[in-house]
Amino acid sequence: MIKKLTIQDIISMKKNGERISMLTAYDASFAGLIDAAGIDMVLVGDSLGMVLLGYNSTIPVTMEEMLHHCRAAGRGVKRAVLVGDMPFMSYQVSQNEAISNAGRFMKEAGCDAVKLEGGTEICDTVKAIVKAGIPLMGHIGLTPQTASQLGGYRVQGRDADSARRLLQSARDLEAADVFAIVLECIPAQLSEAITRMVSIPTIGIGAGKHCDGQVLVTHDMVGMFEKFNPSFVKQFAKLAPQIKDAVADYNKEVKNGSFPAEEHSFNMQLDVQSLLED
């Protein structure tokens, strides 16, 4: 019987010096493959807006879209902790609305936890969500939902002032009782300092090797998203060219009549001609 991981298991992994693995998934098929491979956490990220829905950013992603994909991914997860990403404007308007939306991820979509972006400025909302009994993961550094305010998709924390703000945000999020913090696109030295400073797990993406765990967008990691490839991504496979080649071969065989062949067809022991004559 497969043992379902819990939030406490993830926290204990840091204490035990065990690295934490996390990948994105947006449907049952991918989630099932990722889960079966032993990944510890599956994130249904609002990155689905770009890699699945064709948006130019994560901003247009709605609560209903997130809940739909969380439900789908949840059907494929047996072991991993399932985390749902709260989309833009689902937690910024008021604490009551933030709690309500976070609760929908748990109640309607079957998530084990939610994630939201922001540091010190969002901690009152974080405290309210956690107080409502909802496990929450923080996210600081490059926060895609507010990338325009940060000067675009750039490395954060490269000067003393911004580094101090990130250190303070990490402290404040820990004090607000998040169970883990995603560190995105910050210098490795800073992520190492944050990781040593806080008692909760840090999950890096473009933040160096010293974090307690790592997360990548699966479509980037397996080479399926070709619009751009972030410099911090290692492509463990290049599936997009293989998929296009396979589709081209299929198209060619359909056009020339070689597919389906005999072995792909069903035959029946009936005199069809006599049936037509009836």
Give the pLDDT band of residue 53 (cuts 50, 70, 90): very high
Least confident among 169-178, 184-193, 263-272: 263-272
Instruction: Say whether pLDDT at 278 is over 90.
Output: no
- Higher-pLDDT residue of 249 and 152 is 249
The pLDDT tens digits of the residues spanning 110-124 come to 999 999 999 999 999
pLDDT at res. 154: 86
pLDDT at res. 242: 97
Cβ atoms within 10 Å, residue 122: 23
Instruction: Say whether pLDDT at 1 is over 90.
Output: no
Three-state SS for the chain is CCCCCCHHHHHHHHHCCCCEEEEECCCHHHHHHHHHCCCCEEEECCCHHHHCCCCCCCCCCCHHHHHHHHHHHHCCCCCCEEEEECCCCCCCCCHHHHHHHHHHHHHCCCCCEEECCECHHHHHHHHHHHHCCCCEEEEEECCHHHHHHHCCCCCCCCCHHHHHHHHHHHHHHHHCCCCEEEEECCCHHHHHHHHHHCCCCEEEECCCCCCCEEEECHHHHCCCCCCCCCCCCCCCCCHHHHHHHHHHHHHHHHHHCCCCCHHHCCCCCCCHHHHHHC
Q: Which one is catalytic: 65, 117, 174, 184?
A: 184
pLDDT at res. 19: 98
pLDDT, the chain, mean: 95
The pLDDT tens digits of the residues spanning 128-183 come to 999 999 999 999 999 988 766 656 678 999 999 999 999 999 999 999 999 999 99
pLDDT at res. 69: 98
CATH architecture of 7-234: Alpha-Beta Barrel (3.20)
Instruction: Say whether pLDDT at 81 is over 70.
Output: yes
With a pLDDT cut of 90, the percent of the chain lying above it is 88
Largest CA distance in the chain: 88
Instruction: Say whether pLDDT at 2 is over 90.
Output: no
pLDDT at res. 148: 65
Among this protein's residues, is 174 annotated catalytic? no
What's the mean pLDDT in 216-223? 97
